[in-house]
Structure 1
């Protein structure tokens, strides 16, 4: 019985993990415009949005996408079906400690603000009122800044960032294949592996 209580107590102290996930994929495709449109539709279906869409040349386009983190793995699998994946990377960053620190600072600042408000009600002179209001303004500014930071972190946790680059496949003509084969053969004269 004591072991179950200890485990329950320990579980109540372990915070919910806050993980920011990012992914990056490069795909070789035959028709970039067609794949960009397909990806845009796919993003909407997953409840995400295209944050930026940059077309560098006729042969290269880059999209930065925000997608719900809970759907990231399935989304990446679906994107992989749009072309030949030439590079793929994912990363995650745990920001749980930052969120816990922000929450603790917020609680302390809210208590401090309440104390200053009490003091404001007890102030007897204009000088005291001005001094207390100045401190209240500083505290409120800090609370607003911290709330903004917390919201930003939680937004990044909720919506993963996916960077997708489409590159146009090179289609060789008959002489291109000969040239490519010739370059391969010359390269093998110098390096075997």
Structure 2
């Protein structure tokens, strides 16, 4: 009986150990499942589901390794564009002075270069110095993307004397003008709506004046926008073409005065002296006339005074007594 009772107690202990182990295993499995469920619920609360590697979620393609970088930049299948590359507005200008052998040929080449790049010749001014030499002043407008190419080609067309280049960023000005145009257009539209609803003539007249003022401001802004667009889309190149200087010997010979040069200079001096004498005589003529008249009057008066003061001449006795006849 004792052996049977001990055996029963051993089986009872084994069952209790097995039941305790099973309960512990069930609790452990339940805790893991609850932890996974809590993590999934937290991610769902954030509005983002965690996709498995290699799969896509509801927001789009699977996140790549670049999305986990600390700088926070999201990287998709395409590389991110450079910031500000497409929204930059720059006004480019340049001034060139080139010495060329033939000015007409260089002018034609510069025109062909500008037109070949998609630009145009805005201004052309050619001046002839003498029968042999002439200079030319050109203003070229070329696209921004061909600016450096055209500049290099023009600089190499002859002997470069001077070159200046300038670039001015007007992005802020362009954005400001665009914003003001949008605001002004909305303002004009509001005034038009008020005009449509106005019933009294005084209100219509007042609104018409306001509309005219706002439309004038809008047109001014549109003109500024067009000017900025033109200057930022086409660069400006000012080109001065000059011939080479004349040889030194010929220049010295031309500078030496000859007989005809001396004769011409002497004649010019003679004419200049005569002109000044005539001017002086014309300025002094009224005074000379007045002096001559005063002198004549003085002489007449003096002669009369002298005649009055002179004594009467005595008669001869022969005339008083009579003279015998011969």
The answer, yes or no, to whether TM exceeds 0.5 is: yes
Q: Which residue of 2 aligns with 1:157?
A: 232
Supply the distance in 2 between the matched residues of 1:79 and 1:110 (Cα, whole angstroms). Answer: 44
Supply the distance in 2 between the matched residues of 1:18 and 1:107 (Cα, whole angstroms). Answer: 19
| Structure 1 residue 112: Cα displacement | 1.2
Please identify the structure whose Cα radius of gyration is greater. Answer: 2
Unpaired runs of at least 5, structure 1: 178-193
Note the alpha carbon deviations across 1:157-180, whole angstroms, 9 max, x for none.
Answer: 111110011111124256779xxx
How has the CA–CA distance of structure 1 residues 176 and 126 changed in structure 2, closer, same or farther, with 3 Å as cutoff? closer
How has the CA–CA distance of structure 1 residues 30 and 108 changed in structure 2, closer, same or farther, with 3 Å as cutoff? same
Q: 1:22 aligns with which of 86, 93, 96?
A: 93
Q: 1:46 aligns with which of 77, 100, 117?
A: 117
Count of matched residue positions in the alignment of Structure 1 and Structure 2: 173
Query: Partner of 1:36: helix, strand, or coil?
Result: helix
Q: 1:69 aligns with which of 144, 148, 152?
A: 144
* Structure ranking higher in strand proportion: 1
Supply the distance in 1 between the matched residues of 2:230 and 2:211 (Cα, whole angstroms). Answer: 28
TM-score, length of structure 1 as denominator length: 0.81
TM-score, length of structure 2 as denominator length: 0.49
Query: Partner of 2:226: helix, strand, or coil?
Result: helix
Supply the distance in 1 between the matched residues of 2:122 and 2:148 (Cα, whole angstroms). Answer: 19
Higher relative contact order (CA closer than 8 Å, sequence separation 6+): 1
Unpaired runs of at least 5, structure 2: 1-66, 75-79, 253-326
Query: Partner of 2:175: helix, strand, or coil?
Result: helix
Note the alpha carbon deviations across 1:37-59, whole angstroms, 9 max, x for none.
Answer: 11111111111111111123334
The answer on 1:97 being equivalent to 2:177 is: no
